[in-house]
Amino acid sequence: MTQKPGLSGLRESFTIGSRSLPSPLWIVGPDVIEDPGFALEIGHTLAETARTRSLSLLYKASYEKANRSRADSFRGPGIEAGLEVLARVREETGLPVTTDVHTDEQARRAAEVVDVIQIPAFLCRQNSLLEAAAAGGRIVNLKKGQFLSPGDVPQRVEVLRSGGAGDVWVTERGVSFGYQRLVNDLRVLPEIQRTGAAAIFDATHSVQTPGGGVGGSSGGERPMIPVLARAAVAAGFDGVFFEVHPEPDRALCDGPNALPLSQLEALLDQLEPLARLVREMPDLPL
């Protein structure tokens, strides 16, 4: 597999998208910036975890959640305040940061602050947005839409590559299966990797039950997060995505499908040895 360029700062020692890595890329952080102190506290905790474990860790948080189930759902501080918080997290912790964008202008603004631009799943076919995100030369992480087949992935990657993205990652986060349920088809993994893009598995949004919570909010099957994460690492994904929260049941957004921050280390204790084992295995010539 083609080696991918690394990120700056604390993380110059790793590359993305190669099975030769001793461990995957971990994309971890809160769903949304609830307030600056909250975001920074989680950032410092994750930075310490990354340092003590020598992890390739990318901090994720949204400044705005545009896709909400209800009109009164919390959406975040907005782009101005949110990018200021992400810049502080990046500066104070040394971690690279990522956030999602929803418009062409947001993509241009975010590229001035973040290391990786994330495309939300529902916007993965919005070519003008993909082109704007790629134009800044940043790495772009495309969340694969719940309606997208594995065979549709190469075309999405090509839009980003032809637009000038510094690198392309594709994140699997489940496919709609009837109403209010997502399932994961791991056959998407070779489809992504054949394009040369890094394949990331979103272990938290994959357990979401869209619109299936109280009052029409989204719910989630939190106990399934470790199950799916282990399956993804065993399959050979290049990275794993977790949304975490100190108190998920009090989270302002997507708490039912967030991993409790206190459980992250225990889950990593399971996933890191598994990842090393998988990376030592030769590919079978089927």
Residue 71 belongs to some domain of the structure: no
Range(s) of the domain holding residue 194: 25-66+79-279
Residue 183 belongs to some domain of the structure: yes
Give per-residue pLDDT as tens, 49-61. 999 999 999 999 9
- The CATH number of the domain where 213 resides is what? 3.20.20.70
Residue 8 belongs to some domain of the structure: no
Give per-residue pLDDT as tens, 213-239. 555 556 779 999 999 999 999 999 999
pLDDT at site 213: 58
Residue 5 belongs to some domain of the structure: no
Residue 124 belongs to some domain of the structure: yes
Residue 6 belongs to some domain of the structure: no
Domain count, the chain: 1
What is the separation of C-alpha 93 from the centre of its chain, rounded to a whole number of angstroms?
A: 19
Give the CA distances from residue 132 to residues 62, 216, 242, in Å, rounded to whole numbers and listed in that order: 18, 33, 26
Query: Is 84 exposed, middle or buried (CB count within 10 Å of its CB: 0-12, 13-18, 19+)?
Result: middle
> In sequence order, what are the residues at sequence separation of 6 or more whose Cβ sits closer than 8 angstroms to the Cβ of residue 54?
23
Residue 37 belongs to some domain of the structure: yes
pTM for this one?
A: 0.88
Give per-residue pLDDT as tens, 247-286. 999 999 888 999 999 999 999 999 999 999 998 888 877 6
Q: How confident is the model at residue 211 (pLDDT cuts 50, 70, 90)?
A: low
Smallest CA-to-CA distance from 238 within 174, 284, 190 is with 190
Residue 191 belongs to some domain of the structure: yes
Phi-psi region of 164 (alpha: psi -120 to 50; beta: other; left: phi over 0): left
Query: Is 184 exposed, middle or buried (CB count within 10 Å of its CB: 0-12, 13-18, 19+)?
Result: buried
